[in-house]
Amino acid sequence: QVQLVESGGGLVQAGGSLRLSCAASGLTFSRSAMGWFRQAPGEEREVVAAISQSGGSTHYADSVKGRFTISRDNAENTVYVQMNSLKPEDTAVYYCAARYIRYYSSVAYTGDNDYAYWGQGTQVTVSS
C-alpha cells in the first residue's frame, strides 16, 4: 500500500517559519515526482510547490516564490517544504502528493490531476 504521511504543521506568528515533512512508503520514491498542495477553508486546493524525480527541477506558485523551498531526500523517501516569512494567507491544510512516472523525467509539475497518491494533510495556521 502507498502511504504518504505529513508532519511539521502547527501555529506560528506572521514572519515565522515552519518545515513540513512527508514520509513516503509503498512506492518507488525515486520514480515519483512529488508535490505540496494546500487548501484553505472554503477555497479550492492549489499547488504550492513541486519537485522532479531527482530534485533537479522545481515549480512554485507565484504566491510563495522566494519564501518556500521544496526539497527531497531519496535515500530517506522524504520530501520537505521549508516555509519562511509566513503570512496569515498561508493558513491552510497542507497535503503531500506523489506522481509516479514509469521512466525518468526532469519535469517538476504537469498539473494537479496527475497526482495519484495523497497524504492526510497537516494544519498550518499563521496568526497576524
Please identify which residue in the block is written with the cell numbers 493558513: 91
- Span 79-92, pLDDT tens digits: 999 999 999 999 99
Q: Do the Cβ atoms of 25 and 2 come closer than 8 Å?
A: yes
Please identify which residue in the block is written with the cell numbers 498561508: 90
- Span 52-101, pLDDT tens digits: 999 999 999 999 999 999 999 999 999 999 999 999 999 999 999 999 99
Strands 122-127 and 10-13: parallel
What sign for the dihedral angle of Cα 95, 124, 107, 72? negative
Distance CA 85, CA 71 (A): 18
Distance CA 114, CA 111 (A): 6
